[in-house]
Each structure stands twice: as structure tokens, then as C-alpha cells.
Amino acid sequence: MLAAAWLLSFVSVAPNRIVSGTAFGMVDAISWPGAALVSLLFIAMAALSSVPTSRHYRAMLGIIILILLLMPFGLMVAGHWLVDPSLPQARLGIGAAYWTVLFVLLLCLVELRLRLGLSRWWPTLLLAGVGIAWWGCAALWLDRLALVQEFQAREGQFYQAVGQHIALVGTAVGVSVVLGMLLAMLMRRYQRLQKIAFTLLNFLQTIPSLALFGLLLAPLAWLAANVPPLAALGVSGIGNAPALIALIAYSLLPMVRNTYIALEEVSAETLQAAKAMGMRTGQRFWQVRFPLALPVLLEGVRITAVQAIGLTAVAALIGAGGLGTFIFQGLGQAAMDMVLLGALPILILALIVDAGLGALADALRPGGQE
């Protein structure tokens, strides 16, 4: 982090959206006192990590939170010093040093959670608090930040895209959970189905997402043209129908595999004890096997949901909407801040879902963390 802060660009300033920005280092952006403070905090983290104790890890956690809270104020200082107030279209861009430091800090946060044995809820709550502080700073004082300007110009479209993205992911994951559980139970009942199903699902995973969207276009367009009820339901070669089919196809493998393994790994002695107590087959499944398998099953839902959140971005190429729209529009216009407007919420959604479902799975395990 120290090397990135001193050697890479901290921010960039452009007179408008079209012209490339001029890069500035940390000293130019936040002056020598600010650069010295940042350097001292990084050096303090290095010194604390040299002696691995719980007390030092907690101190490092406090420093990380302090740095995360100070980062938006660094952008405010840089905007005050570097952006010419006489240029109304001038904008402040975030440099490579800023992103590198943020990435490493998040890695440190994950590592400290493991070292301190904290529940997955703790880093999620910490990041939520930091995110609220950042959002407040952006709304009140960072109006010259390029990312904020892109958001303000497309606020209505942004919220609509977030809703579309969540709806696509929720529908795909919900359908894949139901189908995955049914298929896993059928595979347990009919062993010959296991090899066939896993072979087919593994094959679907090897097809690139763009190729699968293209393969679905022609048959769905034909069905929409020749089957009026399907067309009335909104089925077409582009839009939500091919996106949902592709997302469900990609989501089935992790869902089926985790469900099958979760159900199979329940102890035979436990089931035998339940049978000896007089429990019927259905009771043994719903009151014994399923609750014991639920934590592993939730891990499958977590993997499926995180994968679907990322893949849904590609669905924008076939008119399904979502946050991927900003990513591809930004790439087409060479506007990296518009790309970030779509990519950062996807990353945040994935982190929230991963932490939330992971913490729930941990809590449901026998002896798991609350």
C-alpha cells in the first residue's frame, strides 16, 4: 500500500468528460502533511503485523477502519486543491493508488476476520457503516467527483437498473434452488440419473455466456413468432427470457452439486436413530436430513447467487437491462467512470450476498457462530 500510494497516481483531473485527465500523485493531491499521515498509518499496520497477537490484530482493525473513513476526505481535499472552480465541467477521477489501497485494505479486513475468529456479519456491518459515511460525503461534498457526476446524470436509470439486476438474479436463483433440489432428490432416488445429469450440467458450464445467449436467440425468436401464448408472456429472442434461461442453466450445477452432497453427507446413524424412534420417511427427511443438510445447501445458494450477480451483467448485451448496461455503455464511450457506475454496485451486491448467506450458513451449523 505504501508503494502504491507513493508511486501510482492518486487522482486525475479533467476539464470535461471527453478530455483525458491529468494524473497527480499523493503529495499534489493531499499535500505533505496528508501524505505523511497516510504513510504513518501504513507503517503502523506493518509494525503491528510483525508481532502476531490478538491485541495487535484489533489495533490493525481499528487503523483499517480509520483509513477507510479518511479516504473520502482525501478526495475532498484533492478536489479543493486541484479542480479549477472556474471550469464548471471539470471533474476529479480516482487514480490507481486509491483503488490499490482500497483493495488491499479489504483483503486485510478479510484476513483479520479469520485471525480474530469473528463472524461474517462483523465485516459486513463495518463496511456498511463505512459505505454510509462515504455516501454522505459524496452527496454533500464530492459533487466534482467524476463517479458522482455520472450518477447524478443517470440517477433514475441507475435505480431502475439496480431493480432489474436484483429481479433477474432473484428469479434465476429462486428457480435454480427449486429445480436443483428436485433434481438432487431424483438423483438420490435414481442412481443412473446422477451421471447423466452431472455430465449435462458440466457441459452447460463450459459454454461461454455470450455464446449461450446467442444460441438461445434463434429458437426463442421462433417460438415467439409461432406460439402466441409465449409471445404474450414476453418470450422473445432478446430481453429477459434468454437471460433467465442462461442464468438458470449456469446456476444449476453448483446448486445441484451442493444439495446432493449435503443430503448424502447426513450421518446414517442419525437417520437410523430417527427411524428407531418411529419417524416415517417424510418425517426423517424434513425433520432430520434436511435441517442437518441446510448449512451445506445454503453454501450452494451462496455460490449460485454470487455467480448469478456477476453473470447478469452480461445479460445487458441482449437487452435484459441491469447494471451491465452502464458497463457496456461506458466501454463504448471510453468513459471509465460510467463503467464503475455499473461495476461497483455489482461488487457491493456480491459482497453483501456472500457475507449474509455465509453468516447464515455458519449460524445454522451445529456449534456455529451466532
Q: Which of these, 210, 235, 232, lies nearest to 221 by C-alpha position?
A: 235
186-189: long-range pairs with CB below 8 Å, 24+: 187/256, 187/260, 188/260, 188/263, 188/264
**CA distance linking residue 290 with residue 292, whole number of Å:** 5
DSSP structure string for 294-333: HHHHHHHHHHHHHHHHHHTTGGGGGT--STHHHHHHHHHT
**Distance in Å from the first CA to the final CA of the chain:** 33
Phi/psi-derived region of residue 113, left when phi > 0, alpha when psi is between -120 and 50, beta in every other case? alpha
- What is the pLDDT at residue 367? 58
- What is the pLDDT at residue 368? 54
**CA distance linking residue 133 with residue 92, whole number of Å:** 19
Task: Give the CA radius of gyration of the chain.
Answer: 25
Domain ranges of the chain: 2-150, 155-364
Phi, psi torsion values for 23, nearest 5 degrees: -80, 145
Residue pair 312/169 in contact (Cβ under 8 Å)? The answer is yes
Rounded to 5°, the CA angle 218-222-224 comes to: 120
Q: What residues contact 343, with CB distance under 8 A and at least 6 apart?
A: 313, 323, 327
Classify residue 88 by its DSSP letter.
Answer: T
- What is the pLDDT at residue 369? 52
**CA distance linking residue 365 with residue 120, whole number of Å:** 14
Sheet harboring 11-14: ordered strands across? 22-24, 11-14, 91-94
Q: 91-94 and 22-24 as β-strands: parallel, antiparallel, unpaired? A: unpaired
- What is the pLDDT at residue 225? 83
- Give per-residue pLDDT as tens, 278-303: 888 888 888 888 888 888 889 889 99
Q: What is the pTM of this model?
A: 0.86
The amino acid at residue 227 is V
Q: Which of these, 332, 171, 212, lies nearest to 324 by C-alpha position?
A: 332
- By CB atoms closer than 10 A (0-12, 13-18, 19+), residue 194 is middle
Superfamily of domain 155-364: MetI-like (1.10.3720.10)
Average pLDDT per block of 10 residues along the chain, 370 residues long: 93 85 91 93 93 92 92 90 85 92 92 85 79 82 87 92 94 93 88 86 86 84 83 80 90 90 85 85 85 88 92 88 92 87 91 86 69
